A and B are shown apart, each in its own frame.
Chain A
């Protein structure tokens, strides 16, 4: 069972307390009704499926209940780091070569 650091609680807690909530940094358009079909397809259906670093949303469901973002390596299954919702995608990742 993985340990995940909740950026709000500032604690590592067992995976059982968390729920994955899909890919992070996919912004909902401010003009949703005006989106083209192509844009909507990109927003709603298309997800990256990388071998390696992925940016995900997680929720500390059985803790503070906050949504936050996490950087995970899909090869090792390791969490590289977590950060609060709304914060920008980190430009530098600890321990990960570019």
Chain B
């Protein structure tokens, strides 16, 4: 059995297999092909949720993506709990486990429903008006309580174990929507041979042909025709057919985002399949065939479970074989609900009465309903629904007032008409136009290369729709470059046609009433709320929307926008187009974060860069730190050492004997060409023309504003060749900065720039024994102090491979930086390491490197400078070429404020208590006893324990710092004030003798 409400002979799943599922712990049977909604209805279950604000019992309103009420949580396991799934979209699989939301302790008895009784307190804008005082209670009390009481699903509390995929695609014609219009357009385009993508959000193509039993195309039932046509399209090489795929966003230049639900409908998805796939499609032409969405009638208690859209009831019957009740009433303002009544009547369901708001409509469906013996009432309104957890009656009254009659029913099918789905058109920045005759917004002015066809274009009738769509598909293909068309247009033999309807509140829910006639089910917005918003001064529909939250829930007002607009317009006394329509924004339906993030999470969030020597450091047990995308060895702890002990040992070893350091991450740029020196002159503050080949210089790069941008040692390998180093983090922007000037300001210079960061591994060997470690492995380079003095560079060989050997020091010790091709990096490191072992050398990491350079007062750009520091501020005036006529930053540096007295200058700080290590970033004051807020005169930029100095050391930017040498300043901290003395920046070997030591 698959439910007591399954009608034998109805529906399309004749041989279907049973699928068992549970809802709120109760077990039910459905059939494969059902949605969760159709399976629940087959079992007579209408009550599926509680509303957002008033906790009112809610049922299933629709049979599609527009569903505002039937939101459930689907649980696969502890980590796979998806909230706010529309039961009307979720396909049934055997074992599906669904829970209702926003109710406690149970769906049928929900304590929160007291909000419904207290609803006068919760009218429109109540958040803004209530809970204003006391202010502190908002965070601690009001907001948490409101959030707990109002709301939809609960977010999952574990990381998402599923994976998602992402694809880009290009096509000539992208058809969005797979109903009669979309399929006809796709056929026309595909037959020309151009590349076509056809997408539909449903599992099966056909759109409204799912329920339109009266449709006949090419001699077949409409739905069967659609299946045949889509099978034909899917078999064509130039066509991609995507079902279960929602176009959620229409962006610039025909760029459309779609999400394909790959495995949510499967019993056991397995890990081979992604859960969802994001398609980013660039199309030459887009055909929008997104259909129309039926509107509900706005009357008192129109939200009782069992009250649903007529087209939905018809879908449940004709597609799923499910009757939504045994004794249904119909409330309509247009013809389409008659077809639902007729189909149900023919299937054996009693139709208690049709209540038609129109006065004297005529037409074949009305005649047919009467012929079937259905009671039809014109000029009457349903003014109220009875029942609570399920509708039990409808109260009918002549629309202008009069005697009331109550008709018992177990379901009400309603239709106020159909709203063209202009969401994607509007997202494409097209402007909608209001058709006053049919009271609907339809596509007006197009902004992109797209066309709307069928119901979303306001085209009524299947025949007209197919004609329009087929012609549009052919034209889109031609515009995209198609040569010949050889297909034949599908022939519509029979069709249903309906239009018109009504907008706004129905009689009984008018301005003089206080009934709960819902406009927006998901956000609990009633007709009264909209009027109240207008009365309280909201004039623009955008303000009304935000004040009432009409149209702001996950369904984005798919059923409510037009009603809300009409009520606002009526209350304002203005025509609808003057009040305007709120903007449609992406996404059309909610999109998971997973689909958007795809594989870019965890280790794949950002690339990780590792040096050639990384594996060696890893094997040695190094602890790594992230520097930009790089992993850098931070320190090399030995057994029993903490970070502090390891860094102290590494620092001492470098000054006592030698240390090896992986400096490969340093940015490296080769500047080559006849004008290389001229280019260097312009990009760096220093003079370069006279630098001898084979010599190095510490260079400073400024921005045009005169502030330090980067620094590094530059070696001149030849008159026309410089090997430039940059900071690790600065390499890409320095390259960009150089390219920018070379390409746009100094294009006359004959220079080539090449990033060589990844090409050279760099091994720094520093310390008194550095030369002894390197020398045995080097060929062709005289390493004596005379031949290779400090700040020089030679090319030769080390361990048999080419090297650029720099004599330079970032520690203040005799130092070398051995550049070798990256492929040989680890081998050369290991050879140097073996030599180093003979001298007791240590490997040191970035922390020791930082301490050692701070002991010498060498700055780190980005740590000791912050983008507002000039060379003078940093004490680097000596590196600025005084005779140079031009370089980038020369004018900026001379701005009045940059040469004024009292600027923050880089100085050293010594704590009075040598054991105290300052905190980096700590603020500095002159007088610690002054009132708060104190006047801060600077901050600590670098601070370490220096084992070599036997005390703490720090660098700081202090206002007028160089005039304060020897002064005492104060660093106020939470645990007391720290006294410091202003000093020079060099804490170790002030004369610099150790460079040659």
Contact = CB atoms under 8 A, between A and B. Distances in A.
Interface of A: 1-3, 14, 21, 28-29, 32-33, 35, 37, 40, 44, 57, 59, 61, 65-67, 77-78, 85-86
B738 to A, nearest CB: 12
B740 A21 contact: yes
B678 to A, nearest CB: 14
B740 A2 contact: no
Contacts of B745: 28
Given A3-B253, A32-B890, A86 B747 contact: yes
Interface stretch (B320-328, B520-528, B891-899, B933-941): B891-899
A66 B747 CA distance: 12
B253 to A, nearest CB: 5
Nearest to B746: A28
Contact of B890 (A3, A21, A33, A44): A33
B705 A1 contact: no
A59 to B, nearest CB: 8
Nearest to B884: A33
A66 B744 CA distance: 10
A40 B385 CA distance: 75
Given A35-B891, A44-B705, A67 B743 contact: yes
B94 interface: no
A32 B252 contact: no
Given A32-B890, A61-B736, 5 more contacts: A21-B740, A33-B886, A35-B891, A44-B892, A59-B739
B885 interface: yes
Contacts of B824: none
Contact of A2 (B252, B736, B892, B894): B252
Given A32-B891, A40-B895, A1 B740 contact: no
A14 B169 CA distance: 13
Given A32-B890, A32-B891, A33-B891, A85 B743 contact: yes
B306 to A, nearest CB: 46
Contacts, number: 49
B679 to A, nearest CB: 14
B343 interface: no
21 contacts: A1-B255, A2-B253, A3-B253, A32-B891, A33-B885, A33-B886, A33-B890, A33-B891, A33-B894, A37-B896, A40-B891, A40-B892, A44-B705, A59-B740, A61-B736, A67-B740, A67-B743, A77-B252, A85-B747, A86-B744, A86-B747
B704 A44 contact: yes
Interface in B813-843: none
Contacts of B704: 28, 44
Contacts of A57: 744
Interface in B250-304: 251-253, 255, 280, 282
Interface of B: 251-253, 255, 280, 282, 704-705, 736, 739-740, 743-745, 747, 885-886, 890-892, 894-896
A38 B784 CA distance: 54
Nearest to A36: B891
Contacts of A21: 740
A78 B705 CA distance: 31
A67 B891 CA distance: 24
A74 to B, nearest CB: 14
A85 B744 contact: yes
A86 B885 CA distance: 24
Contacts of B736: 59, 61
Contacts of A85: 743-744, 747
A32 B896 CA distance: 16
Contacts of A2: 252-253
Nearest to A86: B747
A40 B857 CA distance: 33
A69 to B, nearest CB: 9
B329 to A, nearest CB: 50
Nearest to B886: A32
Nearest to A34: B891
A95 to B, nearest CB: 14
Contacts of A28: 704, 745
Contact of A66 (B255, B705, B743, B890): B743
B895 A67 contact: no
Contacts of A29: 891
Contacts of B890: 32-33
Shortest 7 CB-CB contacts between residues of A and residues of B = A67-B743, A32-B891, A28-B745, A3-B253, A33-B890, A1-B255, A2-B252
A78 B251 CA distance: 12
Contacts of A66: 743
B470 to A, nearest CB: 29
Nearest to A33: B890
A41 B154 CA distance: 54
B739 A65 contact: yes
Contacts of A59: 736, 739-740
Interface centre among B251, B744, B890 (most CB of A within 10 A): B744
Nearest to B704: A44
| Most chain B beta-carbon contacts within 10 A, residue among A2, A21, A32, A86 | A32
Contact of A67 (B705, B744, B886): B744
Contacts of B891: 29, 32-33, 35, 40
Contacts of B255: 1
Contacts of B895: 37, 40
Contacts of A78: 252
Nearest to B741: A28
